[in-house]
Amino acid sequence: MNETNNDPRLVPIAIIVAGLIIAGAIYFGGGKGANNVNLTGQSDTANTTGIVAEVTDKDHILGSKDAQIIIVEYSDFECPWCRVFHQTMHEVLNTYGDKVAWVYRQSPIIGLHPKAPKISEASECAAEQGGNEAFWKFADKIFSIPQSNNGLDLAQLPIIAGEIGLNVDAFNTCFSGGKYTKQVEQGISDAIKAGSQGATPYSVIMTKDGKKVAINGAQPIENVKAQIDALLK
């Protein structure tokens, strides 16, 4: 006959395990206090009161800056939820065509991902050499690598540059010189002004008539489409 195990030592162990699970969920979602993330790594959308810098030709953009809807994403190349949302945004563009444009802006979380600012700088070096097309090829390649949370070996960056057709020597000269360090730092500051509170991914959906809606965290495509559809009406 089996007896119920009432060993009191198992209670604190269970509490510790539950705590680790909750902490992990909050960490990978960006932190509840930071961007209102729930334990699934997703978070509620809400009207933003932040200041989003005007979209210009200097931005990294897929689609036209004259599109009906522009989604400005503040992202971190080492953030696992940013990788998820990157694919979601590609699905959004495939769904809406030229009605929606996607702008990527740098917002590496230095405290969690110390390597992320250097990857951001590398992406700017890619853009300097190969323009908007090279930036997006570089970004897609980075997010296709199954590593995150500071796991990417920075020695891979020149290899990736070569794989997308860039001149590796020119890339290395740009990257090693820290040419875009201050620009990336400014991107972090701009993201906070826009309302990110230091968490990623953080996106703002904007319309031509000035409406702005925030997307906190890696929202599923159904949630993003609901926001877009409401604004297109």
Give the tens place of pLDDT for each residue, 99-116. Answer: 999 999 999 999 999 999
Query: In this prediction, what percent of the chain has a pLDDT beyond 90?
Result: 73
Is 116 part of a structural domain of the chain? yes
Task: Write the CA distances from 8 to 16, 30, 88, integer angstroms.
Answer: 14, 34, 46
Is 21 inside a domain boundary?
A: no
183 token code pair: 């620009």
- pLDDT 10s digits, 34-74: 333 332 344 444 554 589 999 999 999 999 989 999 999 99
Cβ 191 vs Cβ 202: under 8 Å: yes
- % of the chain beyond a pLDDT of 70: 79
| Domain CATH code at residue 198 | 3.40.30.10
For residue 7, tell me if it sits in a domain. no
Residue 1 in any domain: the answer is no
pTM attached to this predicted model: 0.80
Domain residues for 107? 42-232
- More confident: 150 or 41: 150
Cα(224)–Cα(220) distance, integer angstroms:
7
171, part of any domain: yes
Prior bond of 201 cis (ω within 30°):
yes
In a domain, residue 164? The reply is yes
The region of weakest confidence among 16-20, 64-68, 89-93, 213-217 is 16-20
Task: Judge whether 162 lies within some domain.
Answer: yes
Instruction: Enter the DSSP assignment of 98.
Output: G
**Mean local confidence (pLDDT), 68-93:** 97
Residue 50: what pLDDT?
87
If you ran DSSP here, which 8-state letter would residue 104 be given?
E
Give the residue with greater pLDDT, 20 vs 197.
197
Please report the pLDDT score of residue 26 as a whole number: 35
Count of all residues that appear for the chain in the document: 233
- Is 55 domain-assigned? yes
Q: What is the pLDDT of residue 1?
A: 44
Question: Per the structure, how many domains does the chain have?
Answer: 1
